[in-house]
């Protein structure tokens, strides 16, 4: 569970409520290949996600859900259409400005972890701060605070390849939150975990949303996980086929509460 005793230091004042979408996509399309080999992975998607929401993007393998996430997270460029981040058109940004926007606003939790296995846990969490140009002592302080939030500060000096799957995923969450992101993208965050460990990761992610106001976007084919989100966006053959509001918010809160009991 998320600890309340600390927040990650950034020296900034609490921002006023922002009613703009944190992410807004308009007429978003993505085509891979050309001419006879062209494949349209996404077709004319329109979508707005607001601060503090929990959103599940659901679809089968090859449906386009991961492509949509990569475009919204500025990890790829659309063939047509636009992605706006808090009103800023990302297509007008290049190089360092684009990297800065992505690193400042987003945190990522991937199914495959993408950790440097021979580096220490602390070094893995510090990486986004290095990219941001944060200096040494501040980097270490903030990375340790992030590890404390996921209850892994005592593993800071361990090699990443010596951790369990659940511990590695918690390190990924620490790395995702170390820059105080507005949005966390989680791509099948429990896909490689057993059910018990997966539940702890779910509680941690939703705890970050509830206690810190982080917007949570989960890409999944897991209907039970998707039902815990406030909105479900279904993608099929590259198109948005259905959007629903969840009636499972009480289930999510019960899951977090049950996790608190287990921790005690």
C-alpha span between 155 and 246 (Å, rounded): 37
Decide if 18 is inside a domain.
Answer: no
Decide if 167 is inside a domain.
Answer: no
Decide if 173 is inside a domain.
Answer: no
pLDDT at 246: 65
When pLDDT is cut at 50, 70 and 90, the band that residue 251 belongs to is very low
Mean pLDDT of 214-222: 94
- Nearest Cα residue to 231 out of 56, 63, 65, 69: 56
Give me the number of domains the chain comprises: 1
Decide if 39 is inside a domain.
Answer: yes
When pLDDT is cut at 50, 70 and 90, the band that residue 1 belongs to is low
Mean pLDDT of 32-38: 89
Mean pLDDT of 18-47: 91
CB 55 within 8 A of CB 231: yes
Decide if 140 is inside a domain.
Answer: no
Domain containing residue 108: 23-114+182-263
Decide if 150 is inside a domain.
Answer: no
CB 143 within 8 A of CB 127: no
CA 116, 122, 127, 128 torsion: positive or negative? positive
pLDDT at 176: 92
CATH of the domain at 40: 3.40.50.300
Mean pLDDT of 34-59: 93
Decide if 253 is inside a domain.
Answer: yes
Mean pLDDT of 78-82: 95
Secondary structure, 3-state, the chain: CCCCCCCCCCCCCCCCCCCCCCEEEEEEEEEECCHHHCEEEEEEEEEEECCCCEEEEECCCCCCHHHHHHHHCCCCCCCEEEEEECCEEHHHCCHHHHHHHHHHHEEEEECCCCCCCCCEHHHHHHHHHHHHCCCHHHHHHHHHHHHHHCCCHHHCCCEHHHCCHHHHHHHHHHHHHCCCCCEEEEECCCCCCCHHHHHHHHHHHHHHHHHHCCEEEEEECCHHHHHCCCEEEEEECCEEEEEEECCCHHHHHHHHHHHHHHHC
Decide if 125 is inside a domain.
Answer: no
C-alpha span between 208 and 238 (Å, rounded): 30
For residue 129, pLDDT over 60 is answered with: yes
Q: Report residue 177 CA to chain centroid gap.
A: 9
For residue 31, pLDDT over 70 is answered with: yes
CB 263 within 8 A of CB 96: no
Cross-strand partners of 185? 108, 217
pLDDT at 5: 41
- Nearest Cα residue to 53 out of 200, 222, 245: 245
Q: Report the 10 Å Cβ neighbour count for 79.
A: 14
pLDDT at 131: 82
For residue 10, pLDDT over 60 is answered with: no
């Amino acid at each position: 569970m998320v600890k309340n005793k600390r927040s990650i230091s950034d020296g900034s004042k609490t921002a006023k409520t922002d009613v703009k979408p944190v992410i807004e996509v308009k007429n978003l399309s993505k085509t891979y290949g050309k001419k006879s080999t062209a494949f349209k992975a996404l077709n004319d998607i329109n979508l707005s996600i607001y601060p503090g929401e929990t959103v599940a993007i659901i679809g089968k393998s090859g449906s386009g859900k991961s492509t949509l996430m990569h475009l919204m997270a500025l990890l790829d460029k659309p063939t047509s259409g636009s992605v706006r981040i808090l009103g800023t058109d990302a297509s007008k940004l290049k190089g360092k400005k684009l990297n800065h926007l992505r690193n400042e606003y987003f945190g990522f939790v991937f199914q495959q972890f993408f950790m440097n296995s021979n580096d220490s846990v602390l070094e893995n969490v510090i990486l986004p701060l290095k990219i941001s140009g944060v200096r040494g002592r501040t980097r270490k302080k903030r990375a340790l605070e992030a590890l404390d939030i996921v209850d892994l500060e005592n593993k800071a000096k361990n090699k990443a390849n010596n951790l369990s799957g659940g511990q590695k995923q918690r390190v990924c969450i620490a790395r995702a939150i170390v820059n105080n992101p507005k949005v966390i993208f989680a791509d099948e965050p429990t896909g490689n975990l057993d059910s018990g460990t997966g539940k702890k990761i779910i509680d941690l992610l939703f705890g970050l949303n509830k206690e810190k106001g982080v917007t949570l976007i989960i890409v999944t084919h897991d209907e039970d996980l998707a039902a815990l989100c406030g909105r479900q966006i279904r993608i099929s053959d590259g198109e948005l086929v259905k959007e629903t509001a969840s009636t499972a918010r009480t289930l999510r809160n019960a899951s977090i509460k049950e996790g608190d009991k287990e921790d005690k």
